Homo-oligomer: A and B are copies of this chain.
Amino acid sequence: MLYFENDYCEGAHPSILQRLIETNMEKLSGYGTDKYCESAKEKIREVCACPNADIYFLVGGTQTNATVISAMLKRYEGVIAASTGHINFHEAGAIEYTGHKVLELPHKDGKISAKTLQDYLETFYKDKNYDHMVFPGMVYISHPTEYGTLYTKAELQEISSICTGYNLPLFLDGARLGYGIASEQSDISLADIAKYTSVFYIGGTKVGALCGEAVVFPNQAPNHFMTMIKQQGALLAKGRLLGIQFDTLFTNDLYMEISKNAIETANKLKKALLDKGYQLFLDSPTNQIFVVLENETMKKLGEVVKFSFWEKYDETHMVVRFATSWATKMEDVEELITLL
């Protein structure tokens, strides 16, 4: 059985496990105060070109989204997101559980546009009764999006500028950030993201780590953010587990290096699909490929390959997703291609 169902089906990059073993019996202080966390933060600050950034390591994506968003919103505020945004759709209501509304915007291929955002904000503040409504308190985007698409630097800049104008923090969910940066179609660096957002996270779980997301506040974290992490149940006692992983990933550019593999294998697969006449559902430049399959084809293929069922396309077709990762072997892609 070939496995293209998601990008978190393997363990960790071997260097990480190696490092865990080497440091295993060192006695380190808890809760992220150890030297490996410090070292990892320093390396991330450097690659993000934000020497004063406050950085925290959390365990997973939903947790990170809920913790960051609820820490930054005021009680009467909600978070603006694409209707397809992970926080709106696939996190079991984790944001609402903290008391805040997700304010949906329409999307195009998983992205919100600066214009949609601007219109929303203008309409809100033009309504004489806006104080009976949920105040927009933050903007959430994912990059890559849930559809594997990417914002251009110009788009990010434009959204950022609207946020600044309305004094709204911009939060970028980078669960798959490595794959976004590694895509040849991307013109955005980590330093750009640090420049144009108020907070973002660099995903570890889907990019080489066992678990872990690095939350970066390029300027300053909210007061007592650590206590809020604890309050959310998201503070790891053995913070070393996260520090060592990110320290390894940000040594010798490992994070970027292993990200490239996901792009190369995805590109190979995408080209083959197009060559064979398959219809892409949309053109994703990262590690997720969405393709329209005839139901019968899908069923047969499903017997030998694992992939994700995304949504119904029409009565006789489905959209399915193939995901690659840092760990995908090119030979598996080649074998998959022969099966298409």
Chain A residues engaging chain B, CB cutoff 8 angstroms: 3, 5-6, 8-12, 14, 17, 20-21, 23-30, 59-67, 70-71, 74-76, 78, 89-94, 96-102, 104, 128-129, 131-135, 205-206, 210-211, 223-224, 226-228, 230-238, 240-241, 309, 327
Contact = CB atoms under 8 A, between A and B. Distances in A.
B8 A27 contact: no
A100 B93 CA distance: 7
Q: Which 4 A-B pairs have the closest CB atoms?
A: A63-B233, A11-B24, A92-B230, A93-B134
Given A63-B234, A76-B231, A205-B237, A3 B17 contact: no
Given A205-B237, A210-B241, A97 B99 contact: yes
Contacts of A66: 233
Contact of A237 (B8, B89, B98, B240): B8
Given A9-B29, A89-B133, A99-B97, A67 B233 contact: yes
Nearest to A1: B27
Contacts of A74: 223-224
Contacts of A64: 233
Given A20-B20, A96-B100, 6 more contacts: A25-B327, A60-B235, A63-B234, A93-B134, A94-B231, A94-B233
A29 to B, nearest CB: 7
B231 A234 contact: no
B224 A237 contact: no
A112 B138 CA distance: 30
A129 B205 contact: no
Contacts of A97: 75, 99, 231-232
A238 B8 contact: yes
Contact of A233 (B62, B75, B210): B62
Contacts of A24: 10-12, 14, 17
